Amino acid sequence: MAAVKLPDGKELPIEPGDRARDVAERIGPRLARDAVVAKLNGKLEDLETPVRDGEVFEVVTKDSPEGLYVLRHSTAHAMAQAILELYPGSKLTIGPPIDNGFYYDVEVAGRITDDDLPRIEERMREISDRDLPIRMEEVSKAEARELYRDNPYKLELVEDLEDGDITVYRQGDFFDLCRGPHIPSTGRLGAFKLQNIAGAYWRGDEKNTMLTRIYGTAWPTEKELKAYLRRMEEARARDHRKVGKDLRLFTFSPDVGGGIPLFLPKGEMLRHLMEGYVREVQTRHGYEHVWTGNVVNESLYAKSGHLEHYIDSMYPPMVDGDTRYRLKPMNCPSHMTLFNSAAHSYRDLPVRYAEFATLYRYEKSGELNGLTRVRSLTQDDAHVFCTQNQVQEEFARALEIVREVLDTYGFAEYRVQLSMRDPDDTKYITDDAKWSRAEKELREALDRAGIAYDEEAGEAAFYGPKADFMAKDVLGREWQLSTIQVDFLQPERLGCEYVGEDGQMHTPVLLHRAVTGSTERFMGVVIEHFAGAFPLWLSPIQAVVIPVADRHLEYARKVQAELADVGLRVDVDDSPSSMQKKIRENARQKIPYLLIVGDDEAGEESVNVRRRGDKKQEAMKTGEFAERALGEVAVKAV
């Protein structure tokens, strides 16, 4: 008797003509209700797909990552159908599922604004209530051309497809060019919400037509949707652009230019504290700090390979006679030049250079986003020149630094993505042997450290594989923060050499390493992680002394001076406002400690301490408070 194999190894008999939905029903009615698609021999398929003898069969439910992906894809189709019904003559382009939701790019007949989203949502619910069967249909290229004779965007997509490999999905009168799979019917849609509208160029090319992109989110249940929307509301409240403005940390100005942040005094202090901490950790681990300027002869990037592989991210050259200079987009060629400025033997290695240099990337204006995507960025960059036998030890050292720093900031949950090259992609320097060695070293280093990792093809740097550390913040959002890269290629291109134990010249291996990446981006992440309520060691202003009345100003300044003498960053609020208003305003500024001083405190040389987030007040001697605060700073408590 014909049978399929289940994930647990058991076999389940099937009948001639059985489809995936029939097998799911046979396994269990509840499982069939939760099923959105099936997996046959590891490939996602519609529930209407026929099953065959010997196939490995698995039910994919709506609450699994793959099932959720399909659910969101089907919701994008429902939104597209609603738009065509409400805005006849609109032209669809592409509408994929994405993290937490979906979008669709449309050339709208008319105009859609955020105010129109509830109306589109309502039509989507009507489409769901119709419970329209969703069915795949194979079409020829000629048939696809006829279907989309009035839609140049879909026609362009059709021309890229092979005849015999083209499918459309239909639900009622609506159809869409799509590979699928999809849920069985519109009645199986979950809970959804349309979120916002943006502009997007067709195929991401600014020379093409600007389309309307509509974003939405979809979840299996209303409860999960509401939980997600609450997280998004919290994320908006933590948005580093808003918090940075409220706390007077940084600003942007069209007079200076997009993507170039300007840091106010408190923002500069935050930068200084962040960079100073990483500098201290690196120094403790044997790194030496260097400086290599902001402008570099273009010919150096031609040698390293950056000019060929990275030119789109470089600013145009500045010409001086026969020499062309570039604003520096990365440090590694300059650090290799430093290495080459002196002769080295194996006894000198490893050589560890670190630099907090401002780099310049020619980012497109549409991709700029506060501090997390800028054109001038300060990278906590480091490069380690070592022998091949030292790679494992130096990777372990770099890993120890990464772990210490991420733990200190409270990023306790993170995973590692092993970013490898795609051998079929031409963006990488060609040298299969060196790529294999670099990938082998990186895998072994992660395995020795006992770190689990996911491999991602096509995400390597053009010169070598890398281990990217993806950390979660307090809202569960994932950020790529730290990276360690193994490079067997650039040092040879730039002529880096050392004398080995055998008296012969050898090329060192280069480890590229960044702990917090760019200061700007990491600051944006940290602002949102803490919602601007920084731990004491990281707070630009650690305490504000608030006098009860003007006659207490002299004593307030005395307290400030005593605390500043022991290294604490303290302000006095000498504004004409009332004491209560001063307390409210400084609390809004998220100052860790408010120190209230009046007649009693002046007479007893004490302060009345109010800790951020705590309504209780505690009287203590000024020296006692200083000792407590310094202890909190010393352990970098979060």
Catalytic residues: 332, 361, 379, 381, 383, 466, 512
Beta strands at 97-98 and 101-107: parallel, antiparallel or unpaired: antiparallel
Query: What does the alpha-carbon distance between residue 453 and residue 437 come to, in Å, rounded to a whole number?
Result: 18
Beta strands at 453-457 and 414-420: parallel, antiparallel or unpaired: parallel
Which residue is listed with tokens 């040879």?
Answer: 492
Amino acid at position 126, single letter: E
Which residue is listed with tokens 């600003």?
Answer: 251
Structure tokens at 347: 């006894």
Helix residue ranges, H only, 531-637: 553-565, 579-588, 599-604, 622-634
**CB atoms inside a 10 Å sphere around CB 532:** 21
Query: Dihedrals φ, ψ of 141, to 5°?
Result: -65, -40
Which helix (H) or strand (E) is 455 found in, with range?
strand 453-457
* 3-state SS class at 208: coil
The gap from C-alpha 480 to its chain's centroid, in whole angstroms, comes to 5
Exposed/middle/buried for residue 201 (C-beta within 10 Å: 0-12, 13-18, 19+): middle
CA dihedral 234, 240, 241, 245 (to 10 degrees): 100
Nearest to 140 by CA among 162, 163, 161: 163
Beta strands at 11-13 and 3-5: parallel, antiparallel or unpaired: antiparallel
Query: What does the alpha-carbon distance between residue 361 and residue 428 come to, in Å, rounded to a whole number?
Result: 20
Length of the chain: 638
Which helix (H) or strand (E) is 490 found in, with range?
helix 490-493
Buried/exposed code over 11-37 (b: 16+ C-beta within 10 A; e: otherwise): eeebeeebbbbbbbbbeeeeebebbbb
Q: Which residues contact 308 (CB under 8 A, 6 or more apart)?
A: 302
**CB atoms inside a 10 Å sphere around CB 209:** 15
Query: What does the alpha-carbon distance between residue 178 and residue 161 come to, in Å, rounded to a whole number?
Result: 11
Query: Dihedrals φ, ψ of 146, to 5°?
Result: -65, -40
Is residue 22 a contact partner of residue 12, using CB atoms and an 8 Å limit?
no
| DSSP state, residue 536 | G
Amino acid at position 434, single letter: K
> What would the DSSP string read from start to end of 96-163?
-EETTEEEEEEE-SS---GGGHHHHHHHHHHHHHHT-BEEEEEE-HHHHHHHTTT-HHHHHHHHTSPT
Is residue 259 a contact partner of residue 376, using CB atoms and an 8 Å limit?
yes
